[in-house]
């Protein structure tokens, strides 16, 4: 959304025109309006939409002490999937006017203020509010938009803070994220950030009003729609599921474990706007370890930046595709890591910290994400949905998420999940039918025992029986193997892990399970968990080349 077409509806019209060209059906009239209702072979019955416009959430956080409340506020924002553009603290060595200038220049989507323990001194946090109020922070979209400011500080200061801000900001008050020094309560602030982003920030993208008037049902935020559909699948089948949607600016991860739903938006991990950030966070060597072809790092760095400044381009050559898929592995790995840190057993519960932890605040708490208990892993988003070969999608999923034990892999055929999420509101039967028939493409099943072993030593033995397949064999450590098992077929697998390896029943204990086939089939993964891959080229290139050949990932390159 930038000049000369700073309007979300321009993209919608372009997309509908494209569909019309491909389907040979007239869908848009001469005024650029979608023709509704359908009359003969012209127009369509309804237009519904999801939206991820806004390109990620960018926040500023403010706290009294940089190492304490400001750090907690930053964690709350990061937990909500925001990019933290700057941290303003009373002790950050900047003069007040420099801080104010910074707030103005950065045009954040939202500001989170914290500071002071409940019942403690109010003056410092009020000073912070007094600093931010005159800055009259201008958001990046539109002049009618009021900047959301969340106050999550000393509750005693609430009335004064409310008085400090005039009507030019949208002030929300949530419980203190640091009620006492040793305890953090990030949940309410994090949830508020999520809500405000979905309801408020995104809705102010240019042209959004017009788009609302076009649609036949309320526009749903893309992450919300994907989350709804995933939750429906998990609940319906009584399984644990993880879904991922990787986009240009953000990566959303959804999980349902033991009926508990969690969602994270990693606003700084994506394949175009945020690609450079993935490279800087993961480091170029971590990305290049997944690349078996020789590439010039200088050249690659330029390509990454060019993708960032021209986000709509697509890889044309095999080399470019291999590199993008390598970046996606790291983006997904980092996003899943953030998700695991966010989805903890203590979510929404006040997190207890000892006085000793006061100055070294790291996110802790037991994550409820357990790869061994994971039944279904669903891939969605451009780089995963549009990979030229299904096996590439499966490989990216397995390498990034590292499922343990026996896990079914699926992908969203053409990035349809969000649309079905919103279609379900209008026509649930149609949504369900499309979902079952066209949306989920089962890739197959991954079998990967947890544990580490010496390369070449036995990892596990297997026997697989179905009416089409009768295989038994052994997988050694470091080995990867693909067996065909068509979509719709089921097979019974018995896995006998070697000593020290666990496939779900405990170390060395055999597991028997019914598995489903798919377009890829069965991936037998003896590479161990955690999957270790060196960043040294002389070690990673032979390993990755071998894996790529085993799965026939890039036949053109061999």
Partner 1 sequence: MAHAYTPGLKVTNRVRHRTRRLLPLPGEVLAEIGSHVQAQDVVAQAFMPGDVSPINLSNALSLPPGDIPDIMTRKEGDVIEVGDVIAVTRGIFGFFKTDYKAKVAGKIETISKVTGQVIVRGEPMPVQVKAYLSGEVVEVLPQEGVAIENEVSLIQGIFGIGGETCGPIRMACESHNDKLTLEKITSEMKGAVVIGGARMTGEAVQRAIEVGAVAVVSGGMDDQDLRQILGYDLGVAITGSEKIGLTLIITEGFGDISMAAKTFELFKTREGDEASVNGSTQIRAGVMRPEIIIPLSESELASETESVHSSGMLDVGTTVRIIRDPWFGLIGSVTGLPTDPTTLGSGSKARVLDVKMESGETVTVPRANVELIEE
Residues that bind partner 1 (CB under 8 A): 1-5, 14, 21-22, 53-56, 58, 83, 85, 95-97, 100-102, 104-107, 134-135, 140-141, 205-206, 249, 268, 273-274, 276-277, 279-281, 297-299, 301-321, 386-389, 556
| Residue number, 54 or 453, with CB nearest to partner 1 | 54
Residue with tokens 């470091």: 478
> How far apart are CB 236 and partner 1 at their closest, in Å?
33
| Residue number, 255 or 325, with CB nearest to partner 1 | 325
- Cis preceding-peptide flag for 392 (omega within 30 of 0): no
> How far apart are CB 51 and partner 1 at their closest, in Å?
11
DSSP string, 436-493: IIIIEEEEEEEEE-BB---TTSEEEEEEEE-SS-EEEEEEETT-EEEE---TT-EEEE
The interaxial angle of helices 123-135 and 96-106, nearest 10 deg, is 50
> How far apart are CB 387 and partner 1 at their closest, in Å?
8
> How far apart are CB 53 and partner 1 at their closest, in Å?
6
DSSP H or E stretch at residue 545: helix 537-551
The total of other beta-carbon atoms located within 10 Å of residue 132's CB is: 23
| Residue number, 159 or 388, with CB nearest to partner 1 | 388
| Residue number, 112 or 132, with CB nearest to partner 1 | 132
> How far apart are CB 310 and partner 1 at their closest, in Å?
5
> How far apart are CB 349 and partner 1 at their closest, in Å?
32
Determine the Cα–Cα distance for residues 137 and 296; give it in Å rounded to an integer.
43
Q: Which residues contact 357 (CB under 8 A, 6 or more apart)?
A: 182
> How far apart are CB 65 and partner 1 at their closest, in Å?
18
Determine the Cα–Cα distance for residues 240 and 259; give it in Å rounded to an integer.
8
| Residue number, 53 or 242, with CB nearest to partner 1 | 53
The interaxial angle of helices 318-342 and 390-401, nearest 10 deg, is 40
| Residue number, 251 or 408, with CB nearest to partner 1 | 251
| Residue number, 239 or 318, with CB nearest to partner 1 | 318
> How far apart are CB 277 and partner 1 at their closest, in Å?
4
| Residue number, 272 or 371, with CB nearest to partner 1 | 272
> How far apart are CB 63 and partner 1 at their closest, in Å?
20
Q: Which residues contact 392 (CB under 8 A, 6 or more apart)?
A: 325, 553, 554
Distances (CA, A) of 519 to 202, 320, 483, 522, 539: 37, 24, 11, 9, 31
> How far apart are CB 124 and partner 1 at their closest, in Å?
13
Strand ranges (E), 106-228: 110-113, 147-151, 169-173, 183-184, 220-221
The interaxial angle of helices 187-196 and 69-79, nearest 10 deg, is 50
| Residue number, 107 or 427, with CB nearest to partner 1 | 107
* Alpha-helix runs per DSSP H in 64-200: 69-79, 96-106, 123-135, 158-164, 187-196
- Rounded-to-10 torsion of CA 81, 83, 86, 89: 0
> How far apart are CB 16 and partner 1 at their closest, in Å?
12
Q: What is the DSSP letter of 200?
A: I
Determine the Cα–Cα distance for residues 267 and 12; give it in Å rounded to an integer.
23
| Residue number, 8 or 226, with CB nearest to partner 1 | 8
In terms of Cα–Cα distance, which of 273, 405, 264 is closest to 336?
264
Determine the Cα–Cα distance for residues 57 and 28; give it in Å rounded to an integer.
32
| Residue number, 41 or 556, with CB nearest to partner 1 | 556
Angle of CA points 262, 268, 274, to nearest 5°? 135
| Residue number, 4 or 40, with CB nearest to partner 1 | 4
Q: Give phi and psi for 552, each to the nearest 5.
A: 55, 50
> How far apart are CB 304 and partner 1 at their closest, in Å?
7
> How far apart are CB 541 and partner 1 at their closest, in Å?
20
| Residue number, 202 or 234, with CB nearest to partner 1 | 202
> How far apart are CB 138 and partner 1 at their closest, in Å?
9
Q: Is 410 helix (H, G, I), strand (E, B) or coil?
A: strand
Q: Is 26 helix (H, G, I), strand (E, B) or coil?
A: strand
Termini Cα distance of the chain: 40
| Residue number, 126 or 459, with CB nearest to partner 1 | 126
């Amino acid at each position: 959304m930038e000049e000369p077409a700073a309007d979300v509806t321009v993209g919608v019209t372009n997309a509908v025109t494209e569909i019309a060209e491909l389907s040979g059906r007239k869908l848009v009239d001469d005024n650029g309006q979608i023709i509704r209702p359908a009359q003969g072979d012209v127009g369509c019955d309804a237009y519904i939409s999801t939206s991820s416009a806004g390109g990620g959430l960018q926040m500023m956080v403010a706290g009294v002490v940089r190492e304490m409340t400001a750090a907690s506020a930053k964690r709350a924002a990061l937990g909500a999937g925001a990019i933290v553009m700057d941290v303003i603290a009373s002790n950050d060595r900047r003069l007040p006017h420099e801080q104010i200038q910074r707030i103005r220049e950065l045009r954040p989507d939202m500001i989170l203020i914290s500071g002071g323990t409940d019942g403690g001194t109010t003056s410092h946090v009020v000073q912070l509010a007094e600093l931010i109020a005159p800055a009259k922070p201008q958001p990046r979209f539109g002049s009618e938009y009021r900047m959301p400011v969340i106050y999550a500080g000393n509750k005693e200061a609430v009335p004064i803070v409310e008085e400090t801000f005039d009507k030019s900001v949208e002030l929300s008050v949530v419980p203190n994220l640091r009620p006492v020094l040793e305890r953090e309560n990030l949940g309410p602030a994090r949830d508020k950030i999520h809500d405000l982003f979905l309801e408020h920030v995104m809705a102010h993208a240019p042209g959004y009003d017009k788009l609302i008037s076009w649609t036949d049902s309320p526009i749903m935020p893309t992450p919300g729609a994907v989350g709804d559909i995933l939750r429906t699948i998990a609940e319906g089948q009584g399984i644990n599921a993880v879904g991922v949607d990787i986009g240009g600016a953000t990566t959303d991860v959804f999980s349902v474990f033991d009926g508990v739903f969690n969602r994270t938006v990693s606003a700084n991990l994506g394949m175009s706007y945020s690609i450079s950030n993935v490279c800087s966070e993961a480091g170029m060597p971590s990305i290049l370890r997944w690349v078996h072809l020789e590439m010039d790092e200088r050249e690659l760095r330029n390509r990454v930046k060019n993708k960032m400044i021209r986000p709509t381009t697509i890889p044309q050559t095999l080399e470019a595709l291999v590199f993008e898929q390598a970046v996606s592995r790291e983006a997904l790995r980092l996003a899943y890591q953030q998700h695991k840190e966010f989805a903890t057993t203590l979510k929404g519960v006040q997190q207890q910290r000892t006085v000793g932890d006061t100055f070294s605040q790291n996110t802790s708490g037991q994550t409820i994400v357990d790869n061994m208990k994971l039944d279904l892993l669903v891939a969605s988003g451009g780089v995963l949905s549009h990979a030229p070969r299904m096996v590439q999608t499966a490989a990216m999923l397995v390498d990034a998420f590292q499922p343990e034990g026996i896990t079914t892999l699926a992908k969203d055929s053409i990035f349809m999940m969000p649309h079905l999420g919103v279609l379900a509101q209008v026509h649930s039967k149609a949504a369900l039918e499309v979902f079952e028939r066209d949306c989920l493409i089962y890739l197959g099943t991954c079998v990967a025992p947890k544990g580490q072993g010496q390369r070449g030593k036995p990892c596990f033995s297997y026997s697989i029986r179905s009416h089409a397949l009768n295989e038994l064999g052994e997988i050694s450590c470091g080995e990867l193997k693909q067996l065909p098992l068509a979509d719709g077929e089921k097979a019974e697998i018995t896995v006998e892990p070697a000593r020290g390896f666990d496939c779900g029943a405990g170390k060395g204990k055999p597991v028997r399970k019914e598995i489903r086939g798919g377009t890829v089939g069965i991936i037998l993964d003896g590479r161990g968990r955690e999957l270790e891959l060196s960043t040294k080229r002389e070690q990673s290139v032979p390993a990755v080349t071998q894996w790529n050949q085993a799965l026939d990932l890039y036949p053109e390159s061999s």
